Amino acid sequence: MLVTRHVLAASSPYAAPYYIVRGTNPGPVMMITSGVHGNETASMAAAQKLADDCIAGRYVIHRGTLIIVPRVNQQAYAREIRGKPDLNRTFPRRKSGKAKHPLAAAVFRLARAHQPDWWLDLHEANGLSQLSPRVLGQTLITNPGSSSVAICRKIIERMNRSIPVHKHHFNLKRHELPGSARTAAARLLSAKSVTVETCWSLKRAVRIRYQTEIVHHFLREAGMS
Ligand SMILES: [Zn+2]
């Protein structure tokens, strides 16, 4: 396994570190982004921890290539805000279309260069989906018709089995969101793309653990770890 560190949008105001983890054997490509919204701190911490664990050899990618961008929107992160404009509405909407923000353009260029089979975009949201169908906290979100639905269901089942508090359980949502990384990855790159949303009102350590466990489940399901 080889881990290399790079900088996205280097020598621009949007410069953001990212990591490429190459497994010993060939296999799928998975892209993990976090911090598209700069105030969703547990998801960013989980993504950075995964990169750190790979660097230290505590977590091993056996097959394929993992690309991690732990804090996409560095400016929003520094100010502890979601970011304006909402970066997750600026990804390209059609094959011939362009991203509406230089940072989304840089992220999507990286994706195009690596053609990910999988794209996990880690977020955090308000509310508990178990209590209200209108909120996004504790959900996995795919685009309608995504080939990742069966695996998402399996992972939700496993997560929920390990979560004793019923209202903290995860649910699946299917939603087309033009301009989001998830929908761009699905529609333009044919990637199995999933948005992971933990609920802000849970303890930070718990949210980091959920994010980490979900990502580990996906890596195992993809045959990479
Ligand atoms: Zn978000």
- Which residues, including other chains, have CB under 8 Å from residue 222's CB and lie 6 or more apart? 27, 28, 30, 64, 117, 118
**How many angstroms is it from 67 CA to the middle of ligand 1?**
19
**How many angstroms is it from 62 CA to the middle of ligand 1?**
30
Q: Which helix (H) or strand (E) holds 26?
A: strand 25-34
pLDDT in tens, 110-121: 999 999 999 999
**How many angstroms is it from 158 CA to the middle of ligand 1?**
23
pLDDT at position 11:
92
- Residue-averaged pLDDT of the chain: 97
pLDDT at position 96:
87
**How many angstroms is it from 46 CA to the middle of ligand 1?**
14
**How many angstroms is it from 216 CA to the middle of ligand 1?**
20
> Does the structure show a pLDDT above 90 at 221?
yes
**Which residue in the block uniquely carries the two structure tokens 């209108």?**
134
**How many angstroms is it from 123 CA to the middle of ligand 1?**
4
**How many angstroms is it from 3 CA to the middle of ligand 1?**
27
**How many angstroms is it from 196 CA to the middle of ligand 1?**
9
pLDDT in tens, 84-124: 999 999 999 998 899 999 999 999 999 999 999 999 999 99
Give all domains of the chain, ordered by start, each with its CATH number. Answer: 2-221 (3.40.630.10)
C-alpha angle 177/159/42, rounded to 5°? Answer: 60
**How many angstroms is it from 36 CA to the middle of ligand 1?**
7
> Does the structure show a pLDDT above 90 at 83?
yes
The DSSP output letter for 110 is H
**How many angstroms is it from 26 CA to the middle of ligand 1?**
32
Please give the share of the chain, as a percent, with pLDDT higher than 70.
Answer: 100
Query: CA of 161: how far to CAs of 75, 113, 173, 177, 180, in Å?
Result: 38, 38, 19, 29, 30
Residue 34 pLDDT level (bands cut at 50, 70, 90): very high
Residue 73, burial from CB neighbour count under 10 angstroms (0-12, 13-18, 19+):
buried
pLDDT in tens, 152-176: 999 999 999 999 999 999 999 999 9
**How many angstroms is it from 95 CA to the middle of ligand 1?**
24
Span 35-50, mean pLDDT?
98
pLDDT in tens, 14-33: 999 999 999 999 999 999 99
